[in-house]
Amino acid sequence: MILATVTDEVLPDRSEACFPHIFETALKQGVSTFEIRMVEAKRYPIVEADAWTRMRKFGDEYGITFTTVSPGLFKTGLSHDLMPIHRNQLASMSMDLAETIDIDVLVTFGVMREATDGPDSFAKVVEILHETAESAAARGFTVQLENFPGSWADTADNCLALLKAVDHPAFGYCWDVGNLYDADQEHFMEGYQKLKPFIRNVHLKDGQYIGNHMVWQHFGKGKTDIKGQIAALKADNYKGTLTVEAKCEPQMDEDFPTSLEYLRALL
């Protein structure tokens, strides 16, 4: 497994000075592979040019490998004003910028559900995701569907239905048990058995329901069974990325080292 993290999951700092601290902190924990989400204070790819330059400069200096981009693609609904922009611009802009840094993996969400959705909505979502996979594949990219509560890819069964319906070799799955648990509070194992042939990336975060919302916690403190997830991935000889999302709310400097200490003992 390749230990990885996300640009905004290491430290709460989003200032111009953040990248040296982020990269040093990650390297101290043995992590040099990154997914790009926030670039200082803005989400990829609509970022400040100078922030992008700084991320690249310090990335080179610290020997960081950027493997994946996460633009929040299709974190919008079918009838939303932003949908044509996501469909016609955000996906291609995300790949344009990724190519400049030799990244060929694009994370997408599965389109947010809306009150106006109807019987033909599933087919529309499949069409959008298939079209995205097709245009990505033509450029040498692969696409990873990340599950997210409130989207068409919310529970394990709904993710499976989408992955099977899109049915494209460039379209795989980013398994995020934290988000699955947030959606249905089920133990991961049953869903994992069905989804594992599609898993290309794993997002690791821990937490539990307190009151009526999910509270993100240090690894080992929540109910997503990080220990069991690692054991299952090891048993299946998973060799892909294990992307640490250590951020709690509010995000603190100690979140990343504390969760990494727990995780490293399991690897």
Ligand X SMILES: O=C1C[C@@H](O)[C@H](O)[C@@H](O)C1=O
Question: Which residue among 8, 40, 245, 255 contacts ligand X (CB under 6 A)?
Answer: 245
DSSP state at residue 118: -
Pick the binder of ligand X from 70, 76, 108, 142 (CB under 6 A): 70
Q: How far is CA 253 from the centre of its chain?
A: 21
Judged by CB under 6 A, the residue of 37, 86, 87, 200 near ligand X is 37
In the numeric block, the tokens 């529309």 are attached to 124
Considering beta carbons, is residue 25 or 144 the nearer one to ligand X?
144
203 binds ligand X, rule: CB under 6 A: yes
With binding defined as CB under 6 A, does residue 200 bind ligand X?
no
Q: Is 255 in the site for ligand X (CB under 6 A)?
A: no
8 sits near ligand X (criterion: CB under 6 A): no
Does 110 contact ligand X by CB under 6 A?
A: no
**Which pair of structure tokens corresponds to residue 148?**
């997210």
In terms of CB distance, is 57 or 143 closer to ligand X? 143
Rounded to a whole number of angstroms, the minimum distance from the CB of residue 175 to ligand X is 11
Least CB distance to ligand X at residue 179 (A): 5
| 186: three-class secondary structure by DSSP | coil
Written as one letter, the residue type at 39 is: V
**Which residues does 86 contact at the CB level (< 8 Å), separation at least 6?**
73, 74, 76
Counting residues that bind ligand X (by CB under 6 A) gives 8
154 near ligand X (CB under 6 A): no
Read off the amino acid at residue 145. Answer: L
Residue selected from 108, 179, 217, 259 as contacting ligand X according to rule CB under 6 A: 179
Residue 115 CB-density burial (10 A; 0-12 exposed, 13-18 middle, 19+ buried): exposed
Smallest gap from Cβ 16 to ligand X, in A, equals 23
User: What is the distance between the alpha carbons of residues 63 and 157, in angstroms, rounded to a whole number?
Assistant: 39
Residue 54 vs 203, nearer CB to ligand X: 203
Q: Which is nearer to ligand X, 86 or 203 (CB)?
A: 203
Least Å from the CB of residue 61 to ligand X: 26
Select from 59, 72, 172, 222 the one that contacts ligand X (CB under 6 A): 72
Residue whose pair of structure tokens reads 């992307």 in the numeric block: 243
Q: Is 86 in the site for ligand X (CB under 6 A)?
A: no
Instruction: Look at the alpha carbons of 243, 104, 73, 127 in this order and tell me if their dihedral is positive or negative.
Output: negative
- Establish if 54 lies at the interface with ligand X (CB under 6 A): no
User: Exposed, middle or buried by CB within 10 Å (0-12, 13-18, 19+), for 17?
Assistant: exposed
105: left (phi over 0), alpha (psi -120 to 50) or beta: beta
Angle at 18 between CA 50 and CA 215, to 5 degrees: 120
CB of 76 to ligand X, least distance (A): 12
| Contacts with ligand X, residue ranges (CB under 6 A) | 37, 70, 72, 146, 176, 179, 203, 245
